Amino acid sequence: MLPQGPSGSTVSQKPAGRKKRGMSAAGRAAIAEAQRKRWAAKKGEAIPLKAAQKPKRKLSAAGRAAIVAALKKRWAAKKAAAKK
């Protein structure tokens, strides 16, 4: 006879444990690129060139100043609310 749980079912449920970890799109792309290089090396083909990456975007001085001003305003409001 199989032992039955509190629900009367013989099917065991998943134990509550760690969550499954995900992988970012960049991580998957890096793994895929490495695999393509390994296959090319095994087949004796020329290693395919990686697509040109977009240049990193830079924050302008005006944009940075706007962010700093907004943060200062937010913190001032939070501190004022805390004093009440």
**Mean pLDDT, rounded, for 41-58:** 75
**Rounded distance between C-alpha atoms, residue 13 and residue 15, angstroms:** 6
pTM of the predicted structure, to 2 decimals: 0.36
Tally of CA atoms within 13 A in the half-sphere of 69 that contains its CB: 6
Cα–Cα distance, 22 to 17 (Å, whole number):
15
DSSP string, 23-35: --HHHHHHHHHHH
pLDDT tens for each residue of 55-84: 888 999 999 999 999 999 999 999 999 987
Residue (of 64, 60, 61, 83) closest to 75 by Cα position:
83
